[in-house]
Amino acid sequence: MKSPFPAGGKHPRTSGHLSYCPECVLAVRRERQYLQRLRDAPIPPASDDLTARLLAQTSELAARPLPSAPSATVPRTAARVLAMTAGGTVAAAGVLAVGAFAAAGDPLAAPPVTTTALSQVSAHTPADGRALTTEQIGSLRQEGWACPVLESMGFHLESARAVVRGGQPAVELRLSDGDHYAKVVEQHAASTAATLQPAGRQAGQQAAAPQDSAPPWTATYTAGGRTFSFESDLPAEQADDAGPILQRVGSLSAEGVSAGVEHPGQGPGEEPLGSRLQRGINKIVATFTR
């Protein structure tokens, strides 16, 4: 008697057959459960060395030029094989890059910004005199705080604190050039001033000379709704160079520019393309190494 199943009795997986064959229904259910467990299993990260080698090989293959036209002395079959090999290599590199990009999924969100307004300097940085890290200062600059370091005057940042001055939150920066110190206290005013000017002076006038010509030299400036209190043991003719600098960083910060940072940062939610490709390759490698 001829078998009702093709291929020597192998059951087909058609919907009609599954409607009356409990064995095939059970086999299909087991396969689906197995595949679901595979999907839910955690993906181990690929090693840094393997990821680096895959990225380097992908970049090398993608940058490799296409082969030139074969000379008349080269057999046509060999030229065709060479062209197909090169084309397949380039295509494989492209497929790997696209696959890694797709496997990575949506871009990773940027870390939550830990800043708001300052009696509270930021959401998780109360103005209680605590020291600020470099990352926290960068976050404050993204929010519009200038945090000027006065590098053009030769200073570098020694320390920064979140403090309260006159009942208002402020950022206090302690600077040094190795021989002299400077202290800048930045506060945000409720209203925005149009130009930089010493406190209590009219716009367009020069900064008032300090009451005592001996160090420390002190002055207070306002710009873009920000008040900068400056103190330094520099000679007066050098210390007053801080005024134009504070004017610039105050105006830039008021316009939403991260003052004091010379290179543009990444916007919130953006992930570098290289990082996303590496994350995708990690997933692909993990899939084949399980």
Q: Please list, in sequence order, all residues whose beta carbon lies within 8 angstroms of the beta carbon of residue 210, skipping any fewer than 6 positions away.
A: 217, 218, 219, 236
Q: Which residues pair with 57 in a beta bridge?
A: none
Q: Which residues pair with 103 in a beta bridge?
A: none
**pLDDT band for position 287 (50/70/90)?**
low
pLDDT at 263: 42
Which CATH architecture is the domain 134-254 placed in?
Answer: 2-Layer Sandwich (3.30)
Q: Which of 97, 107, 109 is nearest to 284 (CA)?
A: 97
pLDDT for residue 190 is more than 70: no
Q: What is the pTM of this model?
A: 0.43
DSSP H or E segment with residue 163: strand 156-165
* CA gap 223, 243 in Å, rounded: 10
**pLDDT band for position 69 (50/70/90)?**
low
DSSP H or E segment with residue 184: strand 181-188
- Average confidence score pLDDT of the chain: 72
pLDDT for residue 157 is more than 50: yes
